[in-house]
Amino acid sequence: MALLPQEIIRKKRDGAALTEEEIFFLIEGLTEGRVTEGQAAAFAMAVFFRGMNLDERVALTEAMTRSGDVLRWELPGPVLDKHSTGGVGDTVSLALAPAVAACGGFVPMISGRGLGHTGGTLDKLDSIPGYVSQPDADTFRAVTRNVGCAIIGQTGDLAPADRRLYAIRDITGTVESIPLITASILSKKLAAGLEGLVMDVKVGSGAFMTSLEQAQSLAKSLVTVANRAGLPTSALLTDMDAPLASAAGNAVEVAYAVDYLTGRRHEPRFHEVTVRLGAEMLFLGRIAASPAEGRVRMEEAIASGRAAERFGMMVAALGGPADIIEASERYLARAPIERAIHAQRDGFVASVDTRAVGIAVVALGGGRTRAEDPIDHAVGLTQLAGPGDEAGPDQPLAIIHARDKSTADAAEAALRRAYTITEDRPAARGIILERMAERTA
């Protein structure tokens, strides 16, 4: 009996489990144009409401993976990566990839652009003059082999079904489906030919998953499906109730990453997430016998300057300046207006509406609400205060980097609303909320 898209959609609409054959048929049809956008939207909505069991999630992930090319690597070390579900001030990739490379891993990191209130790694790298964020396949392979890491954008040949289905989900209100999120993330990672993956699942006011229960469900799905599909994967649930770094934007986050790698800046929250993710990657790649040993290796790679050296090599190999580490201020754009804002009374930062901080960056021109929106790489926020920090005349809540006075005024008003100041310092809390590995997934 011939398979029909409408019958598969009806079956899922009514709550039945789909077979592997049905899922592969639908995704192949989507890739080749035999399944219409309307049918794909109906399928996404049916999955949104009815969900998918584990077998269906694995089949959907593998079908989307095989919709395009799957990279094969022949390298003298493990091919590793991490993926973050998105946040504010999350510039970890720029530090993590070169640090893991300095430890002997190979990191072909395929990243995305920002959308909504979260920043995108590619937008940050595009603020480096000359950096080619979407090179040809041969260049991508060569830089990964010779440097140990290459951070680029998704090519049209990797998981094309995901690109088409995501565009449909984005305009039909079906993005927040754990089965669809799982397949979207993992299909690209499996297509990249990885041997180990660490998921950074954000939770809090600045994350897409605002509750711990949501984040746990997503992390469990990702870890379980990835391992079933043959990709060793673990996950860390990390706090996003405050910006991860004290900088949010594009050029300002590149400057922050350079300062971190060269030892000029050391913020405990950012450092903890970076070294813990790297430790997991080294453990999965069998470079380290345990996450604890992986942490020691990561700390040494950063402290010695070897990670900074790899970052500089990667930037130069992908068309950027050869001295970005030594003279980043020469190349990174600066906004004409810089304005410090202070709390209207002394005290301590009790909480931060992190989503509002991210939206303030977007309103400055540093993010986008539509995929085609242009980015102003120079604007953003620096010296962002976090929970527990003192607030008053000697300690700004943030420094605004703006193109003009009107956008600076709007950002100031948004930031004042985002911060809650109290007389007492709030209790400190850890940034790593939970670790999830295959045996606990």
The CATH number covering residue 37 comes to 1.20.970.10
Task: Please say if 139 is a catalytic residue.
Answer: no
pLDDT score, position 173: 85
- Domain holding 367: CATH number? 3.90.1170.30
Based on the fold, state whether residues 102 and 237 are members of the same structural domain. yes
Catalytic, 124? Answer no
| Rounded Cα–Cα distance for residues 278 and 227 (Å) | 19
- Domain with residue 98: its CATH number is 3.40.1030.10
Q: Can you state the percent helix, strand and coil of the chain, rounding each to 5? A: 45, 15, 40
Do 287 and 374 belong to one domain? Answer: no
d(CA 193, CA 10): 34
Let me know if residue 435 belongs to a domain: no
User: What one-letter code names the amino acid at 362?
Assistant: V
* Strands of 248-249's sheet in order across: 248-249, 380-382, 398-402, 337-341
102 is a domain residue: yes
Residue 93 designated active-site: no
Active site residue 12: no
Q: Which of 163, 189, 276, 401 is catalytic?
A: 189
- Alpha-carbon distance of 144 to 31, in angstroms, equals 28
Beta bridge partners of 237: 201, 434
Do 30 and 93 sit in the same domain of this protein?
Answer: no
428 within domain boundaries: no
Shortest CA distance to 278 belongs to which of 216, 188, 196, 193?
A: 196
| Mode of pairing for the β-strands spanning 432-436 and 233-239 | antiparallel
Torsion over CA of 302, 307, 312 and 313, rounded to 10 degrees?
A: 170
Catalytic residue among 61, 111, 118, 121: 121
Q: Which of 12, 66, 83, 271 is catalytic?
A: 83
Asked, for residue 75, whether it belongs to a domain, the answer is no
User: Domain ends where: 308, 328, 348?
Assistant: 328
11 annotated active-site? no
Single-letter amino acid, residue 96: L
The residue among 328, 346, 377 that closes a domain is 328
The number of folded domains in the chain is 3
Domain membership flag for residue 389: yes
pLDDT on residue 441? 37
Residues 121 and 97 grouped into a single domain: yes
Same domain for 210 and 351, yes or no, is no
Among 31, 61, 65, 84, which one carries the catalytic annotation?
84
Shared domain check, 341 and 281: no
Establish whether 19 is a catalytic residue.
no
Domain match, 133 and 190 both:
yes
Size of the chain, expressed as the number of residues it contains: 441
The whole domain housing 207 covers 80-328
Residue where one domain finishes, among candidates 328, 352, 382: 328
CA nearest 381: which of 67, 89, 33?
Answer: 89
Query: Per the domain annotation, does 439 fall within a domain?
Result: no
Do both 204 and 240 map to the same domain?
yes
Residue entry with tokens 């603020």: 127
CA-to-CA distance for 214 and 66, rounded, in angstroms? 28
pLDDT of residue 116: 63
- Quote the pLDDT of residue 158: 85
The catalytic position among 65, 91, 111, 184 is: 184
Say if 272 falls within a structural domain.
Answer: yes
Active-site entry in 12, 57, 164, 188: 188
The answer on 352 and 309 residing in a single domain is no
Q: Are residues 260 and 350 in the same domain?
A: no
The residue annotated as part of the active site, out of 61, 65, 67, 81, is 81
Residue 74, exposed/middle/buried by CB under 10 A (0-12, 13-18, 19+)?
Answer: exposed
pLDDT tens, the chain, 441 aa long: 689 999 999 999 999 999 999 999 999 999 999 999 999 999 999 999 999 999 999 999 999 999 999 999 999 999 999 999 988 999 999 999 999 999 999 999 988 776 667 768 889 999 999 999 999 989 999 999 999 999 998 776 889 999 899 889 978 888 889 999 999 999 999 999 999 999 999 999 988 888 999 999 999 999 999 999 999 999 999 999 999 999 999 999 999 999 999 999 999 999 999 999 999 999 999 999 999 999 999 999 999 999 999 999 999 999 999 999 999 999 999 999 999 999 988 999 999 999 999 999 999 999 876 667 789 999 999 999 999 999 988 889 999 999 999 999 999 999 999 999 999 999 988 999 999 998 543
20: how many CB neighbours lie within 10 A of its CB? Answer: 14
Q: Are 319 and 258 contained in the same domain?
A: yes
Annotated catalytic residue 118? no
- Per the domain annotation, does 436 fall within a domain? no
Same domain, 147 and 32: no
Tell me the residue type at 395.
Q
